[in-house]
Structure formats: structure tokens, C-alpha cells
Chain A
Amino acid sequence: MRTGSRRSVFRRARGDSPAKRAVIHAVLILACVMSVYPFLRVVSVSLRPSNQLLSTDLALIPPGASLENYRALIFERDFTIWLWNSLVVSAASVLVGLMLAATAAYAFSRWKFPGRRQGLLFLLTTQMIPAGMLLLPIYIMVVRLKLFNTYTGMAIAYSVGSVPFSIWILKGYYDTIPRELEEAALVDGASPLVAFYRVVIPLSTPALAIAGLFSFMTAWNDYMMARVMLQKPNMFTWPVGFQKLMDQFQTAWGQFAAASVLVAIPALALFLYSSKWLVSGMTLGGVKE
């Protein structure tokens, strides 16, 4: 038997040599540091007292660190409102988006109806429209429908915007679910729709979670659309609200950083929570086992 080093790095090798394992760990640790460090710097700024924003010090916990910025943010700004609004809008757009995408993806996955290819391509095409091109017309539509300044208007715009991508993810995943499972249910006398809800949906948790995660992030992070659609301070989502921390010339950097940290936490938590599905649910046109 040859030694571990001759064996493929691509197989799930139990026999990697210790040296190789050390190198792999070293590379991964370096990559992790690079991916996390900028965020740690933001955390660091948020802890700094406001008179020492700029510093050549690379220490992450600054001298004189305090939570003052967080206190001011939570108790003196509308921050909790912004967070709540973002949460409501994002959650609603996930639910609405999944309602629309789950069945549509099933149609794409199980039937070879005429226009299927064109339909899938059309969905991909919608992703090619440059940002900003649809901004003004969508805004006009929303105003005509009297939906500006409402959660409803925002949620509809975001959910429909994320439907094409959700359909792709869900279709890819449905493809990996053997048809025999539904057929068994059909034999038992269930209608196709019931088979779908009873058999396919429960098996698709990973893909639903990932599609939901994507819609959530789209809505959570959007500034462009929110900026024109929201004209009441009590409706602001956080990206719009954050602008208040920046005056024409002055910026409350410390509070801005603190707000960034607090806003990043829900997103990070969501990623952490869904990380167990993140790999298995992302089957873009995936292969069948």
C-alpha cells in the first residue's frame, strides 16, 4: 500500500500524513483570519471612544474600550425600530417568495412542458438587468398602488425579486429527489399536489432553507430600493436609518460601527443556523447520486 501522500487529495482521505494535515490546517486558519479580520476591525472601532477613531494601532481591543457607542445607539437612536422593520420586511419577503417559488420550481423539475427551457432561461435573464434600471418604474408602480411606506410594498418587491433565484435552487434540489417516492404516494391514491406537499416539501428542507436565506439577505441588505420607497422615519429599515448617523460632513463613526456589529449579528446567526444546509441545499443544477 502506498503512503498517504500518493493518495488523492480529493478523496475523503483518512490517511493524510500529519505534515500534510498541518499544512491544510495552516492554510485554512490563514484563510479564516483573512475572512474575519475586517469585521473584527469594525468591532474594534465600535469600542473606541469617539475622540480616537483614527489610529495606527493594530490592537483589536483599543485602549479605553467602552460600550458607550452601543448604549447611545440603542437608547438614543431609532435603532431598534430600524432593526424591527428590516426583520419584518425580510421575514415577509422570505415567506411570500417561498410560497411562489416552491410550486413553480416543482413544475420545472417534474414536467417537460413546452416553454420549460425558455422559462428557466427567462428567470436567469432577469438576473442580468442592471441595478438601478428598474428603480424608477418600480417606484412609480408602488406609488400608484399606494404601497410606498408599507411593509407590504417592500415585501412584494423583494420577494418577487428573489423568486427567480429561489426557483433555480429549488428546482436543482427537487431534481435530486427520486420520483419513485412521489409515485408511491400516487399509487396510494394521493393527488399530485398532495404528493408534492407530503413527500417533496418535507424532503426539501435544505433547499428551502437556502432559498429562504438568499431572499432574506437580499431584503435585509437592500438600500437602493428602500431609500426611495420609505419616506417615514418609523418605517425605515436599517440601511436607510444608518444614513442618519452620517451628516453631510460629520459621521458618528463609533456609533456607525456599533450599529454595523449589531446588524451583522442576525445575519451571521442565520448563516450559522443554516450552515448545516448551506452545502447540501446549494444544488445548482446538481448531479444525481
Chain B
Amino acid sequence: MIPLTWDIVARGLGEIGRLLGIVAVIVVVLEALAYLILHRLLKYKYSLPFMLLLPALVGVMALIIYPFGFNIYLAFSNMNMFRFKDFSVGLSYGITNFLDVFRLPVLQKVTFFQLLGRTILWTVVNVVCHVLGGLGLAILLNRPMRGKGVYRTLLVVPWALPQVISALAWRGEFHFQYGFVNLMLERLGLRPVPWLSDPRWAFVAVVLVNVWLGIPFMMVVLLGGLQSISQEYYDAAQIDGASGWQQFRSITMPLLKPVLTPAVILGVVWTFNNFNVIYLVTRGGPMEGTDLLVTSMFKAVFEFYRYGFGAAYAMVIFVFLFIFSAVYLRLSGGFKGAWES
């Protein structure tokens, strides 16, 4: 056992202090440089915003650009278990890798298109449930009522719990004999369900877990949106005799849209790329029946040692998600709220 001593505490605080100092210095230096070059030298009109932007930009670029480039490099290599340190890079390897994504099973049985279909189903079901559940709860909470704070607090518990813990807890709760899900079903006089040994039920189980995890985020976002809608609109609508549903459709929904669109996009991206829930609850099994694109990519690299292939596969997933978001932005009218303000 390593005891927590003052030494360790002091070392931690010291290192953090140093880090903050260094970051502050770097920020100041970068901004000063930007100021000198853009403002003094080039007399650029937008020198101030770029100055403000520079530190974050440099950080994000450094952490994204090099690794991203490295990944593309690997995608054009034949790196695998037998060629781990002495792999070679070439266009033909890249073409093979990218073609393999589509023509061969990604893992043992399951193919890219099966995984794609499943991932889309997973994303749609989850996000729809998140939005509906979140919206329902937000509407219920958006009124003066007793215990509102308590409800809101308890309802965000799934979001606040570390995912590693809730996922493992749920794994236990889906146990055929000892999990509370089946115990509850039996008390209700229903047949127990083989949650973790039947691939379809396992998929239902992971969806349930993720719905449970994701509702609080949507609830909080949408509650924020609802609260920013002025009461006057509803008062006016009532004078005109609009029903509750009409008010919802013609006031709530349009005014909620600027909040809803980015929330849905983020929700889709996070759900699409969700790794923890699947990996910790079912590990993608049984029969690879709950693997999604992301988990199968991770497995291809770290369990099947297919580094080159895995890198190509990651690019395909990324591009797919990118196209989806671009299309969704076009169709939904995009981030009007974000661009115009």
C-alpha cells in the first residue's frame, strides 16, 4: 500500500502550479507574437480575435493534427502482428486496407455493412429516446412545483455517475438469475430474459443502458431551452385559443430548435462513437451481436493486431460520420443560432 503523504500532495500541487504557470506564459507569448505580427506588422482588421483564438487553436491542432496524420500514414501501411516494427508503407497497402474494410469481415463474422446498419439503428433509437425522454422530463419540470430541485438532482444521477461504474453495475443487473431486471420481470409474472447470452436481447440491454445514461443530458439542455422561451408567447397563443398541442408545435418546437439541433448533433456523434457502454457491458458479444463500428475498430487493432487495417477503418468511420453531420446540418437549416448571433 502506498500511503497518501504530504510529500505526494505537495508534489502534485507543485506540478500543477508549474503547469499552470507554463501554460500562462505560453499563452501570453503566443498572444504577444500574434499581436506583433498581425496588429503591428500587418495591421490586420481581425487581429484581436485571432490573437484570442491562437492558444486554443495551437493546442487542438497539436493534439489532433499530428495523430491524425500518423493515422493516415498507418492506414497506408501493412503493419500487423508479423510486421510490427518493420512494416512498410505504400499506396497499394492503403488501397488493400480500404478495400478490405468493405469486402472482408471486420472481425470474425460480422461485416462492415452489418456493423454500419447496427450502428445507425443504435444511434437512431438512442437519440430518439434521449430526446423524447429528455423533452418529456424537461416539460414536466418546467413549471413551478414543489421538490423541483430534488427531482432535477436525482434525475441527473445517471449522467453524474462514472460510466465505468454504471456500465459494470448494469452488466451485473442483466444477469439471468441475479440481476434485478429479471428479478423484477419475474415478480411481474413475466418470463426471465437471457439478456447477455442472446445477441438480440444483449443489443436491447445495451440500448437500455445507453438510453438510461443519455436522457439527463438532453433533459438539462432542453430545460435550458424551455426556460429561455418567453411566457408571453404562450399567453398570446392562449388568447387566440390555441390548444396545448398547437402551442407546442408552433411555439415550443421552433423556439427550441436552435438548442435542439446542436444537442442532437452532439448526441448523434457521441452515441455513434460510444465505446464504454458496449465494451464494458457485453464486450461486443455474444456472437459479435452488439459490436458497433467503434468497438470493432478497437478490437481489430488491439485484439487482432491489424494496425494498418484498423487505421483505414477508423478513417472510414470518421468520414462517414462527417458526411452524416454535414447532410444533417444542410437539412435542418444548420446552426442558424450559432452563425447569426
Contacts and interface: CB of A to CB of B under 8 A. Distances in A.
A and B touch in the complex (CB under 8 A): yes
Contacts of B124: none
A192 B48 CA distance: 9
Given A92-B19, A264-B161, A130 B224 contact: no
Contacts of B88: none
A133 B318 contact: yes
A234 B216 CA distance: 35
Contacts of A278: 152, 156, 220
Contacts of B225: 286-287
Contacts of B198: none
B140 A28 contact: yes
A171 interface: yes
B121 interface: no
B20 interface: yes
Contacts of A134: 63-64, 67-68, 71
Interface string B182-208: 010000000000000000000000000
Which residue of B9, B16, B50 has the most chain A CB atoms within 10 A of its CB atom?
Answer: B16
Contacts, number: 346
A122 B251 CA distance: 32
B42 interface: no
Which residue of B157, B229, B252 has the most chain A CB atoms within 10 A of its CB atom?
Answer: B157
A131 B273 contact: yes
A160 B87 CA distance: 31
Interface in B1-50: 1-4, 8-9, 12-13, 15-16, 18-20, 23-24, 27, 46, 48-50
B166 A58 contact: no
A54 interface: yes
A190 interface: no
A13 interface: yes
Contacts of B180: 37, 41, 58
Interface string B47-77: 0111011011101101110111011000000
A217 to B, nearest CB: 8
B228 to A, nearest CB: 5
A91 B16 contact: yes
A39 B1 contact: no
A80 B49 CA distance: 43
Nearest to A2: B238
A133 B314 contact: yes
B151 A271 contact: no
Nearest to A224: B275
B60 A35 contact: no
B169 A21 contact: no
SS class, residues of chain B in contact with chain A: helix
B244 A10 contact: yes
SS class, residues of chain A in contact with chain B: helix
A122 to B, nearest CB: 8
Interface string B121-149: 00000000000000001011111110101
Given A36-B157, A287-B337, A14 B144 contact: yes
A141 B67 contact: yes
Nearest to B159: A271
Contact of B16 (A80, A127, A151): A151
B3 to A, nearest CB: 8
24 contacts: A8-B237, A9-B139, A10-B244, A10-B247, A10-B252, A11-B234, A11-B238, A12-B231, A38-B166, A81-B8, A88-B16, A96-B20, A99-B23, A111-B48, A129-B314, A130-B293, A130-B297, A160-B63, A163-B60, A168-B262, A172-B338, A221-B164, A234-B8, A286-B228
Interface of A: 7-14, 16, 21, 24-25, 27-28, 31-32, 34-39, 41-42, 45, 54-56, 58, 75-78, 80-81, 84-85, 88, 91-92, 95-96, 99-101, 103-104, 106-111, 113-114, 117, 119-120, 123-134, 136-138, 140-141, 150-152, 155-157, 159-161, 163-165, 167-168, 171-172, 175, 192, 217, 220-221, 223-224, 233-234, 239, 242, 256, 260, 263-264, 267-268, 270-272, 275, 278-289
10 shortest A-B CB distances, which residue pairs? A137-B67, A104-B56, A107-B49, A137-B70, A113-B46, A111-B49, A133-B314, A285-B337, A107-B52, A271-B160
Given A11-B231, A110-B49, A272-B153, 7 more contacts: A88-B15, A91-B16, A124-B266, A131-B275, A133-B67, A234-B2, A289-B228
Interface of B: 1-4, 8-9, 12-13, 15-16, 18-20, 23-24, 27, 46, 48-50, 52-53, 55-57, 59-60, 62-64, 66-68, 70-71, 137, 139-145, 147, 149, 151-166, 168-170, 172-173, 175, 177-178, 180, 183, 212, 215-216, 220-221, 223-231, 234-235, 237-238, 244, 247-248, 251-252, 255, 258-259, 261-263, 265-266, 269-270, 272-273, 275, 293-294, 297-298, 301-302, 307, 311, 314, 317-318, 321-322, 325, 335, 337-339, 341
